[in-house]
Amino acid sequence: MSKKTVLTFRSNNSRATMNLGRSFAAYMRAATIVCLFGDLGSGKTTFVKGLAKGLKIPANKVHSPSFTLMNVYQGKLPVYHLDLYRLEDPQQVMGLGYEEFVFGEGVALVEWPERFGPFMPTDYIKIEFKHVARDRRRIFVSIVGKSYQDFFNHIQEDKVELK
Ligand SMILES: Nc1ncnc2c1ncn2[C@@H]1O[C@H](COP(=O)(O)OP(=O)(O)OP(=O)(O)O)[C@@H](O)[C@H]1O
Ligand SMILES: [Mg+2]
């Protein structure tokens, strides 16, 4: 099997994006960091809802923490849902318990990770959402750093796909 460096998924509705998130839940481990890139309304929170659901967190508990910057949900693993859109000073991110999620038991799902600035993690799962048309999105998955190679091999070997 040829090894890819980027996996591309095509989503035709929000349910498909949620289902992809849900499929990814099985691969989450303690201290996993997932950075979600993409414009406003491209589907980042929708994906988080699906992933949370896969960790037994009801989707209606999941809301973008736009003003508080971070929500914590308790599921099979603790989920730290960050939305850094309104982060003014990257230094602020250090007050959120950033170390707790990096070194702790939880999974960090980060919207607007660009705002990390100098605190951008060195290793993370990278998911990019591209708005193609009203209900169509292209979702690109890759890894940055070496820590998530096993994750990336597994989603390829298991042929995770949109349903
Ligand atoms: N294929 C699709 N995948 C994801 N969302 C879709 C899709 N088609 C339509 N949508 C709609 O697009 C919107 C995506 O909103 P969502 O909150 O997930 O975006 P976001 O990337 O988190 O934006 P923000 O940067 O504002 O937090 C929702 O209203 C959703 O129903
Ligand atoms: Mg969002």
Residue 134 has pLDDT above 60, yes or no: yes
Ligand nearest to the CA of 64: 2
Biggest alpha carbon–alpha carbon distance for the chain: 45
The reported pLDDT for the residue numbered 131 is 97
Measured by CA distance, the residue closest to atom 8 of ligand 1 is 135
From 12, 42, 62, mutation site for ligand 1 pocket: most ligand atoms within 8 A of C-beta: 42
From 14, 115, 139, mutation site for ligand 1 pocket: most ligand atoms within 8 A of C-beta: 14
Question: Hey, what amino acid is at 162?
Answer: L
Within 10 angstroms of residue 41's Cβ, the number of other Cβ atoms is 11
3-state secondary structure of 55: coil
Residue 136 has pLDDT above 60, yes or no: yes
String of b and e for 1-31 (b: at least 16 CB within 10 Å)?
eeeeeeeebebeeeebbbbbbbbbbebbeee
Q: State which ligand 1 atom lies nearest to the alpha carbon of 112.
A: 25
In tens, the pLDDT along 54-113 reads 999 998 999 999 888 999 999 999 999 999 999 989 988 888 877 777 778 899 999 999
Q: State which ligand 1 atom lies nearest to the alpha carbon of 46.
A: 18
Residue ranges covered by each domain of the chain = 29-149
Residue 6 has pLDDT above 90, yes or no: yes
Q: Percentage of the chain surpassing pLDDT 70?
A: 96
Do 109 and 82 meet the contact criterion of CB atoms below 8 Å apart? yes
Q: What is the CATH T-level fold of the domain 29-149, as seen in this structure?
A: Rossmann fold (3.40.50)
Q: Considering the entire predicted model, what is its pTM?
A: 0.95
Within 10 angstroms of residue 162's Cβ, the number of other Cβ atoms is 15
Measured by CA distance, the residue closest to atom 26 of ligand 1 is 40
108 strand-pairing partners? 33, 80
Q: Percentage of the chain surpassing pLDDT 90?
A: 78
Residue 53 has pLDDT above 70, yes or no: yes
* C-alpha 37 to ligand 1 mean position (Å): 12
